Amino acid sequence: MTEGSAEAVPPAAETMAYAEPRDVAAVRSFVRAAAVERGLAPTRADLLVLAVSELTSNTLQHTAGGGVVRLWSDDRRVVCEVVDGGAARSFGQMPSSDSHRGRGLAIVTRVVDKVSTSTGPDGTVVRVQMDR
């Protein structure tokens, strides 16, 4: 978990917007297809899909609007960013199994190789990545 993301988003990034709960299934299809096409093993792509599904659902549950997903890759990893107008997120520990809430972001940190986030005047970017 690191703060800030100095790297720029490459122009070749694929993007998809989401605005309501029924869009989240389409986001999952988009991320799965793009990640597999970029060479991530299907079982690894499924973990990235779960993380992005949690992040986009978090936007729709806790902010006033929707957001955008960006995905790109290089020779080492597949990177996905979830951008929304919400406040900074905190990625805490997994709550106890009988707890009612607080699992979404904890799941994200458990299933991807790296999570980083940055918050500015335009909102919050959460970047997750899977190594190849």
Partner 1 sequence: MPNFEAKTSTDGDWLVVALSGECDLAVQAELAAALGDAVGRSRAVMIDLAALTFLDSSGIHELVTAHHASRERDGRLSVRNATGMVATVLEVTGVGELLGSKDGDGDGIVAP
Between residues 13 and 28, which has the closer beta carbon with respect to partner 1? 28
Rule CB under 8 A: which residues touch partner 1?
21-22, 24-25, 28, 46-47, 49-50, 53-54, 57, 60-61, 94, 96-101, 103-104, 106-107, 110-111
β-sheet with 77-84: strand ranges across: 2-3, 114-120, 123-131, 77-84, 67-73, 14-18
> Least distance (Å) from partner 1 to the CB of residue 128?
15
> Least distance (Å) from partner 1 to the CB of residue 12?
28
Q: Dmax over Cα atoms in the chain, in whole Å? A: 44
d(CA 87, CA 64): 11
Between residues 53 and 117, which has the closer beta carbon with respect to partner 1? 53
Backbone angles phi, psi at 12, to 5 degrees: -80, 5
Are the beta carbons of 125 and 83 closer than 8 angstroms? yes
Between residues 22 and 76, which has the closer beta carbon with respect to partner 1? 22
Between residues 78 and 111, which has the closer beta carbon with respect to partner 1? 111
Residues in the chain: 132
> Least distance (Å) from partner 1 to the CB of residue 9?
26
> Least distance (Å) from partner 1 to the CB of residue 29?
10
Token duo for residue 13: 């990034």
